[in-house]
Amino acid sequence: MAHLFEPLQLRAITLKNRIVVSPMCEYSSEDGFANDWHLVHLGSRAVGGAGLIITEATAVSPEGRISPQDLGIWKEEHLPMLLRITQFIKSQGAVPGMQLAHAGRKASTCRPWEGHKAVPEDQGGWTVYAPSAIPFNDVYPLPVALTKEGIKKVIQDFATATERAIRAGFEVIELHGAHGYLMHNFLSPLSNQRTDEYGGSFENRIRLAVEITEAVRAVLPPQFPLFMRLSATDWADGGWTPEESVKLASILKEKGVDLIDTSTGGLAAHQKIQVGPLYQVPFAEKIRKEANIPTGAVGMITTPQEAESIIAEGKADLVIMARELLRDPYFPLRAAHDLQYDDMPWPVQYVRAKRTKLK
């Protein structure tokens, strides 16, 4: 049996295989609403055989959006279309997950194809919040430092969004603590220069991530898993480190997090990333072994053999894929064929196209 196609149980939820559709921003919403694009984008990857389908970064508040076109879950009216999407995902034997996010100092920015820059006020730009008034770079918005009341609101927004996500049919919740967004802003000394209980020491810088985790776990039904996406390193001197990621992962495990989705970077404009095939996998392996918590591996994983090796060699528990699944929504079906795994279920509508193992 190919290890990539072994089921994985997390709490009461069983994933049929280890292939996960990574959260990928589509920048295709209006006022946070999901639409037919999201149904087709997420639904086609469920048809393609992935075990877990995670939405793009979904804003817990309007000010928490990266761009004006981000998906959102800050109001009840967002739920009907999301429920339609989760029902379809489940009908294909996959599990629907939602990544909840607040963009922090990277909020109110244009979509990538419109240029990485701040959204002008006369075009709908809004006030951006972060731990400290330090912009990401000279063309991003200057953030306002969150007050204590503002921090309390963020925590409550995540909890309320979790309750809505469950009512919309999602069965896995992932908290976005990576890529230079709000929780990551608090974690890294490069973006957090507060002098109160939310800044300075490691214990203070992780406080927001821990408090959001506690608030979300308190309202998340116990049968549903909770993930946290972390950038394991800032790839910049003086920033967040892999060792701190291990320490935080151990704490999050005690607070009810079930898996660390292990990415890197995104916080510092001057980051120097050593990019290459599987370049982020060692961070997932380190956290898995040293914090004794399941992990997901990401980053330039493009072939069935690479994905299989990650699971078979115990480097991570899930393979969380993005660009390869944009290129090929049916990658899991192809991977099963390439790895000579004959028991991969196909949609009955597509069975006539299935290629069996050569004798």
Q: Is the dihedral of CA 145, 149, 152, 158 positive or negative?
A: negative
Q: Which residues pair with 54 in a beta bridge?
A: 97
Measured over the CA atoms of residue 254, residue 257, residue 262 and residue 265, the dihedral's sign is: negative
Q: How far is CA 199 from the centre of its chain?
A: 24
pLDDT digits (tens, 9 = 90+) for 155-165: 999 999 999 99
Q: How far apart are CA 352 and CA 336, in angstroms?
A: 16
CATH of the domain at 129: 3.20.20.70
Q: Which residue has the tokens 């970064």?
A: 57
Residue 354: inside a domain: no
Looking at the chain, the whole-number percentage of residues with pLDDT higher than 90 is: 95
Q: pLDDT per residue over 23-63, tens digit each? A: 999 999 999 999 999 999 999 999 999 999 999 999 999 99
The answer to whether residue 197 sits within a structural domain is: yes
CA distance 94 to 267: 32
Q: Is residue 34 part of a domain?
A: yes
Catalytic residue among 181, 198, 330, 341: 181
356 within domain boundaries: no
Asked if the model's pLDDT at residue 359 lies above 70, the reply is no
Segments of the chain assigned E as strands = 8-10, 13-15, 19-21, 52-59, 95-101, 129-130, 144-145, 172-177, 226-231, 259-263, 295-297, 318-321
Cα(140)–Cα(86) distance, rounded to whole angstroms?
34
Domain annotation covers residue 351: no
Residue 306 lies in a domain: yes
Residue 307 inside a domain? The answer is yes
Ramachandran region, residue 265 (left: φ > 0; alpha: ψ -120 to 50; beta: rest): left
- 164 neighbors 99 (Cβ within 8 angstroms): no
Average pLDDT over residues 103-124: 94
Query: What is the C-alpha separation between 227 and 175, in angstroms, rounded?
Result: 6
Q: pLDDT above 70 covers what percent of the chain?
A: 99
198 classed as catalytic: no
In a domain, 105, yes or no: yes
Q: Is the pLDDT of residue 210 over 60?
A: yes
Specify the number of domains making up the chain: 1
Average pLDDT over all residues of the chain: 97
Residue 357 banded pLDDT, cuts 50, 70, 90: low
- How would residue 358 be classed by pLDDT, with cut points 50, 70 and 90? very low
> Structural domain of residue 260, as residue ranges?
3-346
Mean pLDDT of 198-219: 98
